[in-house]
Amino acid sequence: MTTINLTKLETAHDQIRKALPKLLPTDAALVASAISLAGRHALAIYEGEQYSWPEDYVKLTEAMGRQIEMIQESTEVVKRTKSSPEEEPVQVIVGLMPNMSAGETQLAGYEKLKTAMSDIVQDGVEFVYQHHDVMWQWALDRANWSVIIGEELSRKVRVRASFTEGAVGIEMGVGGKRKPTRKTKAAEPADDDEE
């Protein structure tokens, strides 16, 4: 399985060089960028249909809006107070699949590299990404569901797009591991008695 980091293209290039050592460095860079593009512009899979970015944004959000309306209808309206616990958001899952046509467009005219890209994806790709690297996740995080369904949301909804077909995805956190902070003694002000 080849790991493609969507945030750091140079590590994706290194992985392609390891997977295909006979490939020239420039060709490996082209294949790495094509696979990265296939991950960034992944096809959304929702209720058995495929949606491509950005053409099908309205179509997908309308389809998801029907499920969010059902979630709203199935929940009781509970009056919130300051002491009531924070409610857990309802998760709506959208599957993702590498968009091979987007990657192949990047490699137009290089049939040998298209074959290499296809072989790598068929052998298995693990995309490492942050939530804003995949265009569908980025767009669905910013969707205004109240406007889409035509009413105010009574429950929090979190849409999660994750690779389910043709690849594996690992979403990285924003900050990574935090370093512990050390308290240092403030420097003592110098005496000004010598004047």
Quick one: average pLDDT of 3-12? 85
Distance from CA of residue 83 to its chain's centroid? 34
User: In the structure encoding, which two tokens stand for residue 189, read together?
Assistant: 């002000």
Report whether pLDDT(47) > 70. yes
Question: How far is the C-alpha of 51 from the C-alpha of 96, rounded, in Å?
Answer: 9
Q: Looking at the predicted structure, is the pLDDT value of residue 5 above 80?
A: yes
Is the predicted pLDDT of residue 174 greater than 70, yes or no? no
The verdict on pTM exceeding 0.85 is: no
Q: Burial of 64 by CB count in 10 Å (0-12 exposed, 13-18 middle, 19+ buried)?
A: buried
The pLDDT of residue 85: 62
168-173 own/partner pairs: CB under 8 Å, 24+ apart: 168/1, 168/124, 168/125, 168/126, 168/127, 169/39, 169/96, 169/126, 169/127, 169/128, 169/129, 169/134, 170/126, 170/127, 170/128, 170/129, 171/129, 171/130, 171/131, 172/7, 172/128, 172/129, 172/130, 173/130
Report how far residue 57's alpha carbon sits from residue 51's, in angstroms, rounded to the nearest whole number: 8
User: Distance (Å, rounded) from C-alpha 136 to C-alpha 93?
Assistant: 12
> What six digits make up the tokens of 159?
């849409």
Say how far apart CA 89 and CA 4 lie, in whole Å. 30
Residue 13 pLDDT more than 50?
A: yes
Percentage of the chain exceeding pLDDT 70: 81
